[in-house]
């Protein structure tokens, strides 16, 4: 499902990136891009609904829980690319879960993880779910950026310290060589003088 999603997103990205020329052509491309995004969303929704249906028919709470986690992952990926598409996706998944509430409850049984996942997806407005994911993605991105900056700073400090240590070691080695050379020259001079 992810491969299909990424392939469709790549096509969408290419179509968005290749706008050019006159306004009529741009308007046509915008319509084509919107149609592409709609078809991409429909494919993803169809795959998700199909998988959820299969899990409900099988009566496997663990598989249902895995699929609900996949739905969350898909929402996060969609939020990063297009929050409106993410909202539409959540709406359609919610509709399916609500229409099949009895089957979902029967499969979930006393599995609290499944009950909580279903509640998280069905009891909140799609716009709020998407907003929450947008905030979390933003926070995660900020944390990742801060962590990367901290790691880079740490590496710079470590490199600087290592360079300074190397310079000190080189100075000490040079001093020692110079001292040895002086001692050798003095010994050589003494021996030549017969001292």
Over the chain, what is the mean pLDDT? Answer: 74
DSSP, res 21: S
Ranking 34-43, 79-88, 137-146 by mean pLDDT, the lowest is 137-146
Q: What percent of the chain has pLDDT over 70?
A: 64
Query: Quick one: pLDDT at residue 99?
Result: 92
Average pLDDT over residues 141-164: 65
Cβ pair 79, 86 in contact under 8 A: yes
Q: How far apart are CA 93 and CA 72, in angstroms?
A: 11
Q: Tell me: the pLDDT tens digits for 1-23? A: 555 555 545 545 555 555 444 45
Residue 103 φ then ψ, to 5°: -65, -40
Query: Quick one: pLDDT at residue 191?
Result: 72
Q: Tell me: the pLDDT tens digits for 58-105? A: 988 888 889 889 888 888 888 888 888 888 888 898 899 899 989 888
Q: Tell me: the pLDDT tens digits for 166-178? A: 878 887 877 787 6
In terms of Cβ atoms closer than 10 Å to its own Cβ (0-12, 13-18, 19+), residue 63 is: middle
């Amino acid at each position: 499902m992810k491969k299909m999603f990424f392939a469709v997103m790549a096509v969408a990205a290419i179509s968005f990136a290749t706008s050019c020329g006159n306004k009529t052509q741009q308007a046509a491309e915008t319509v084509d891009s919107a149609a592409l995004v709609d078809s991409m969303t429909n494919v993803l929704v169809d795959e998700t609904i199909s998988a959820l249906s299969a899990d409900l028919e099988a009566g496997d709470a663990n598989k249902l829980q895995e699929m609900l986690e996949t739905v969350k992952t898909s929402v996060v990926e969609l939020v990063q690319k297009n929050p409106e598409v993410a909202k539409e996706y959540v709406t359609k998944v919610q509709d399916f879960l609500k229409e099949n509430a009895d089957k979902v409850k029967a499969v979930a049984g006393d599995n609290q993880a499944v009950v909580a996942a279903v509640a998280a997806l069905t009891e909140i407005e799609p716009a709020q779910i998407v907003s929450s994911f947008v905030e979390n993605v933003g926070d995660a991105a900020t944390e990742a950026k801060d962590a990367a900056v901290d790691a880079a700073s740490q590496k710079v400090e470590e490199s600087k310290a290592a360079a300074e240590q190397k310079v000190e070691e080189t100075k000490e080695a040079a001093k020692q060589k110079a001292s040895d050379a002086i001692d050798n020259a003095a010994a050589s001079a003494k021996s030549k003088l017969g001292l």
